[in-house]
A and B are shown apart, each in its own frame.
Chain A
Amino acid sequence: MVTATGQNKTTGKSNASTSPSSQLQAPTGEPAENLEIAPEQPGYRPISSSVTAESLQRLPSQSLRIATFKNLQRSQGNHQAARIARQLRDTPPKPKQSPAAMIQRDLAFDPDWESTGLGNLFTWGGSQASADKAKEDYNKLFKPLEDLLVEMTSISQMKKSSITTRAKKVVDFIKAKQNKKTPVKWAEREQLKTDIELNLTEAKLIVTDYEKSRLENYTSQSDETGVALDQIGKKQPYLPDKIKVLQEEAANLSKLKQWDDADQKMKELSTLVKGVAKFKITYDSLIQKYKTATGDKDYAPTLIKSTWEAAVQSSKDGNPAGGLRELESIEKFITTVADSGLIKNVKTNYPTAHGKKDYCPGVLKDLRDALTTADTPKAWNIGLTNLKKVIDEVFELEKEVTALEDRANELSTEEDKEAILEKLEEFKTLAWKEMTKAKLVPIENSLQTYEVVELDITNPITTTHYKKSRQKITRKRLADIGLPVEETGKIQTVLNNIGKGKPDSYPDSWKWGEEYENRDNGLPVLGGALTYREYYVKPEKSSEGFGERRIVASSDGKKIYYTNNHYGSGNAATAFTCIKW
């Protein structure tokens, strides 16, 4: 069996007799087992690229020479190995030194050993100059390598690399020497120095490349994040404060070359920024609708407002995904409210209905408040419909009451006027459920009674060129005029056919929708594009020809007048009766 030292344990003799390396002899001739450096020592293996015949000869043991030579063979090939072997053959071995001298030299150490802690690892003798050289070597070579090793082992990717392993072996070897205060054999020193130099150079290059790569990677990530942040916008209310913190932490770690930690921070930052970017998409798509939906604080559903604010706060607190979920949970609700289009109307109509009219029901406020507490689009829609319905009813009642008030104010008898207005005021104080149109009917009937009394009150003509004191208008429902059934029926026939067409039984030459020019201003002057239209009403007897009955209606159909005396001919008391107003 051949040991790592090159000796056959069985025979105790060297096995290097048949190969070129078998001719190698330890310059000192000392036995291999006395050597400090042996291949089986973990960690250390000389680098053969720097081997020369002279350096081989300086090696302290035969086994080490053999191992180094084999390394040389592997790394530089047989040709080079053969050249070295020839040199060895031709180079006479150096004269032996006595063991005592060797020990003396090897044990020589730096007098400052204790104070500097540098040890005498590289001392080349006991002189001060050698000690200085050792310090210089230590500071220039070993210390940088030791420091670099710390850095390399801190890098996960480099921890198990061959260069780290080799450098560690060198450092461990030297440290072991230091701990034991054992000097390195002089013959090993040159090789050790060479190995340290080579390891240091290679490690520096690798570490530099590595750091450059990590820095580039860090910068790239940082740039990407910066672009994403620019796209999001720096003043968004939902921008997490954590972003700035992470940016600073990552920057600091990168300065300390703690790349893994810096990367971790950048990864965290990138994830956060991506989350915010995603949040932004939904936020941007909803913000206008949100503003519309909450345009009036009185109608903004509390759920929308609170959830929206919570979503923004969640993102700001560094949880944009949570914020996004909040937004998505109310997205449909926001859309429902914003797109309803009714809120704008209600915004105007509600205060009008609620604020102006005494008879506006208290239920209206409850309905409005129900909108703010609605927690689903469906509930809000129902609430809005209910509110709108009541508002419409309020407006309708308001219209009816106002019309009655206007008519009452036209009454010339103060007592009558006050009586009607008083009844209307009473109506306004009714409870909402009792406040129905049906309750207005008796009031209107009373009003009509008073209006009938005013039949003979003239509507004076102001233009001097027409007959005076003849054009009079009164206002009565058709049924209240007191006309014969026959006449009422014929009027009703015309009324039923206005806007439809002349009844077949009417002569073609009869006026039906011809313009009535109101030359006397006998009827109220119409505004805008409205005109009066004239319709003949059949007389009682056909022998009367066209007769004297006429209906004149405004072209919008809202006002209809009736005359049965040919526009007040013959000084009739009344020219027209307004039968629809």
Chain B
Amino acid sequence: MASGNAKTQVNMPDYSIVSQPVTYINKSDLARFKDALKELDFQVFELNGEKVRDAESLFEQAARDWPHPPYLTPDSWPALADCLWTSLVESAHPKVVLLWTEAQNMLDGGLPVLITGIEVVSSNLKNAAKKSKADPAEVYYRLVISGSGPNFPPFQAG
């Protein structure tokens, strides 16, 4: 017979894998990391950084992989920021990860663009979160940078 005092246990989702606005993950763990994101119900927009070396190539790739309204093109830093803003604040999905893969390519002459890109995207995610139509307590807009080599740490879930 069930006890009337038995406690109901609720498993709370663990968002520690994306606890920071920007997360760095080694390419070798990327598949496992993406699975974990799916389990947490994140919508992932993956920018294939294989050909990205500078700002122009980044904008071109962003136009393909990252969200933006059909009438806007992310072909400059303010355009990219504005595209992300308009997409996110209009989106009803509260959990979004913008993933930038093969980011190790940026470490060979593209570091300023990588850093600017991280700054532009992360600050826009933060500002957009404030204007999101979703419940503010449930909004997780994150940027994940993935690459190979020692600059990108392994995934340590849980």
Contacts and interface: CB of A to CB of B under 8 A. Distances in A.
Tell me if A's interface is mostly helix, strand, loop or mixed. loop
Contacts of B76: 466-467, 470-471, 520, 522, 567-569
Given A465-B55, A517-B120, A511 B85 contact: yes
B104 to A, nearest CB: 18
A465 B54 contact: yes
A547 interface: yes
Contacts of B127: 514-515
Interface in B82-121: 82, 85-86, 89-90, 112-113, 116, 120
A329 to B, nearest CB: 70
Contact of B73 (A509, A515, A547, A570): A570
B137 to A, nearest CB: 18
A545 interface: yes
Nearest to B112: A465
A244 B52 CA distance: 100
Contact of A569 (B56, B75, B123): B75
A566 B131 contact: no
A568 B79 CA distance: 9
Given A509-B133, A516-B78, A519-B116, A546 B86 contact: yes
B79 A569 contact: yes
Contacts of A434: none
A369 interface: no
A89 to B, nearest CB: 144
B81 interface: yes
B69 A546 contact: yes
Interface residues of A, number: 27
A569 B68 CA distance: 14
Interface string B120-158: 100100010001010000000000000000000000000
B85 to A, nearest CB: 7
A508 interface: yes
B116 A566 contact: no
Nearest to B123: A517
Interface of A: 465-467, 470-471, 508-509, 511, 514-520, 522, 544-548, 550, 566-570
Q: Which 3 A-B pairs have the closest CB atoms?
A: A519-B77, A509-B89, A567-B78
21 contacts: A466-B76, A509-B86, A511-B85, A514-B127, A516-B78, A517-B77, A517-B81, A518-B78, A519-B77, A519-B81, A519-B120, A520-B76, A544-B71, A545-B90, A546-B69, A546-B86, A548-B72, A567-B79, A567-B82, A569-B76, A570-B75
